[in-house]
């Protein structure tokens, strides 16, 4: 079984030129069993943005903050004390990773718009970008527009022994 999976992944690399992306995004948080995200229950949003000099185009998906809220992450009134040292780490099929702090995302703090998209111009993302990608319309460089997202992890980063809980 393991051997077969390895061969199938190798075939994926050879034929597509990309590491095979997961068909679902895994969510992990401290003290919570990891599980595949159910995006279907979240409000859909659309943003218009273009990477590099590309003409702006429409991307559809869900707000990352809504994903986090639905998963019980400390956002809104709960974002205080040690939670202000938590961040979200996003991993792609090729091992690329980016992070966003909770404070950067929460509408009461930085309020940065970060969207987990599954469609571009109304169509499912192609193999280069999808099935899931992050779009950050207000970043000046698109380096956090991570393609082929496989995992989203909430990470506690406080190192202070006496930090407020
Ligand atoms: N998975 C993955 N996503 C990634 C990268 C990567 O190496 N791997 N590169 C990033 C960088 S540095 C940029 S500039 C943009 C490029 O997006 P584009 O290929 O749509 O122009 O993708 C970002 N997303
Ligand atoms: Mo880049």
**CATH assignment of the domain containing 110:** 3.90.420.10
In a domain, 34, yes or no: yes
Q: Domain span at residue 108? A: 22-155
Please count the CA atoms within 13 angstroms of the CA of 145 that sit on its side-chain side.
20
In a domain, 2, yes or no: no
- Over the stretch 19-72, which tens digit does the pLDDT of each residue have? 556 689 999 999 999 999 999 999 999 999 998 888 999 999 999 999 999 999
Cβ(18)–Cβ(127) below 8 Å:
yes
In terms of DSSP H, where are the helices of 17-158?
Answer: 64-70, 102-105
In a domain, 4, yes or no: no
In a domain, 10, yes or no: no
In a domain, 11, yes or no: no
**Residues 146, 5: Cα–Cα separation, whole Å:** 25
- State the pTM of this model: 0.89
In a domain, 164, yes or no: no
Q: Which residue's CA is the nearest one to ligand 1's atom 18? A: 51
Task: Say which residues have a Cβ less than 8 Å from residue 74's Cβ, sequence separation at least 6.
Answer: 80, 83, 86, 102
Ligand 1 mutation pick, 99, 127, 147, 151, max ligand atoms within 8 A of CB? 147
**Residues 142, 1: Cα–Cα separation, whole Å:** 38
Domain count, the chain: 1
Paired tokens of 91: 């991993």
């Amino acid at each position: 079984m393991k051997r077969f999976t390895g061969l199938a992944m190798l075939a994926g690399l050879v034929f597509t030129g990309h590491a095979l992306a997961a068909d679902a995004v895994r969510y992990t948080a401290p003290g919570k069993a990891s599980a595949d995200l159910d995006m279907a229950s979240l409000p859909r949003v659309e943003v218009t943005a273009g990477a590099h000099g590309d003409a702006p185009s429409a991307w559809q998906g869900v707000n990352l903050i809504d994903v986090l809220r639905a998963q019980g992450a400390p956002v809104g009134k709960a974002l205080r004390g040690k939670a202000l040292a938590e961040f979200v780490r996003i991993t792609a099929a090729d091992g690329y990773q980016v992070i966003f702090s909770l404070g950067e995302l929460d509408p009461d703090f930085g309020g940065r718009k970060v969207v987990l998209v599954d469609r571009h111009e109304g169509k499912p993302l192609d193999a280069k970008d999808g099935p899931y990608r992050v779009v950050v319309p207000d970043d000046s460089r698109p380096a956090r527009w991570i393609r082929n997202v496989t995992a989203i992890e909430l990470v506690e980063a406080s190192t202070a022994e006496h930090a407020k809980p």
